[in-house]
Amino acid sequence: MQNHAPRMMPLRLTLPLAAGIALAASLPAAADDWPAPIQTLEQQGLTIHGEFEAPGGLRGYGASIRGQSVAAYLTPDGEHAVVGTLIDAQGRDVSAEPLEQLVDGPKNAELWKAMADHHWVREGDTDASRVVYTFSDPNCPYCRKFWQDAQPWVENGDVQIRHLMVGILKADSPEKAAAILAADDPSAAIAEHYRTGAMPDSEGTDQSEQWVADNTQVMRDAQLYATPVIFYQDDDGEVHKVMGAPTPDKLRAIMGSDSP
C-alpha cells in the first residue's frame, strides 16, 4: 500500500540557557504545584512535561518550547532554576534519557500514528519487519545522504522506508516533490532522483500537490523545521526521532542492526 532534515534551524529562546543564570522565585504557588521558579519558566514560554531525578541535589524538569526539548533544574534551596545542559564527568548530557521519556516519546508516538495515515511512498520489501518513516525534500542533500546510507538494509529486505515527500527548502521543492509523487513508480522516481538528481518526465498533478501540502503541514504542526526527520520504533515499540543525516551509530539504531 502506498499511503500516499540536516541542519536544525537554530532555536532562539528568551530564557537564559546553559550559562547558569538564576531566575528569582517571586510567584506564589500555583494549583499545579510546580515550585515557583518552574512556574516562572512556564510564564516565560516553556511547557513543563514532568519531573526527573538529577544529580547534585538538583531536581530536573522535562520541558519543551517551539517543538524542541529542554531541561530545567531547580536548585536545592528551591529558590532558583536554570535552563540548559547538565553534563557529568564523562561529558554526557544527564537529561537526554529523561527528555526522551517525558517529552519526545509521547509526541513521537502520536506523530507515528499521524504519518501512517498520510501519503507515503514505500521503498523496500513490504514484508520487511523494520519500518522507518522519513520526511524528505527533493532539494535536501542530507536526505540523499540518508537514502544512500540506508540502501544496504533496504536492498537486503530488512527495512522498508516510507518517504513522506515535502517541499520546504527551496521555491521549487513543492513542485519537485509533487512531480516525484505523480510518477508512474514514485519509489523508483525517489531512488533515481537521489542517485542521479534526475526528475521524472511527468509533472505534478492536483492530487500529488495536495499530498505534498498535507505532508508539509504535518511537519509544521509537529514543529519540525529541517529535513530529513527520521522516525523508527525500537524493539520495545518506543518511537524515536533523528534529525538530519544520522551518524553511523544512529544509522545502526534506525536500521535495527549493525549490518544487513
* pLDDT (tens digit per residue) in 101-136: 888 888 899 999 999 999 999 999 999 989 999 999
Q: Is residue 234 part of a domain?
A: yes
Q: Which of 78, 73, 76 is nearest to 63 (CA)?
A: 73
178 and 54 fall within a common domain: no
142 and 197 fall within a common domain: yes
245 and 131 fall within a common domain: yes
Q: Is residue 212 part of a domain?
A: yes
Q: Which of 153, 147, 127, 134 is nearest to 226 (CA)?
A: 134
165 and 82 fall within a common domain: no
49 and 143 fall within a common domain: no
Determine the pLDDT at residue 32: 63
User: What's 186's domain CATH number?
Assistant: 3.40.30.10
Give per-residue pLDDT as tens, 163-201: 999 999 999 999 999 999 999 999 999 999 999 999 999
The model's pTM: 0.74
68 and 169 fall within a common domain: no
Which of the listed residues 24, 57, 92 is the one where a domain comes to its end? 92
The domain in which residue 25 lies consists of 5-92
Determine the pLDDT at residue 106: 86
pLDDT > 90? residue 66: no
Which of the listed residues 57, 92, 127 is the one where a domain comes to its end? 92
pLDDT > 60? residue 10: no
125 and 251 fall within a common domain: yes
Q: Quick one: what percent of the chain has pLDDT higher than 90?
A: 75
Separation between Cα atoms, residue 126 and residue 177, nearest integer Å = 23
135 and 226 fall within a common domain: yes
Which of the listed residues 58, 92, 126 is the one where a domain comes to its end? 92
Query: Mean of the per-residue pLDDT values for the chain?
Result: 87
Dihedrals phi, psi of 8, to nearest 5 degrees: -75, 140
Determine the pLDDT at residue 24: 32
Determine the pLDDT at residue 23: 33
Query: CA dihedral in degrees (10, 13, 18, 22; nearest 10)?
Result: 180
23 and 124 fall within a common domain: no
Q: Is residue 260 part of a domain?
A: no
Q: Is residue 102 part of a domain?
A: no
User: What's 71's domain CATH number?
Assistant: 3.10.450.70
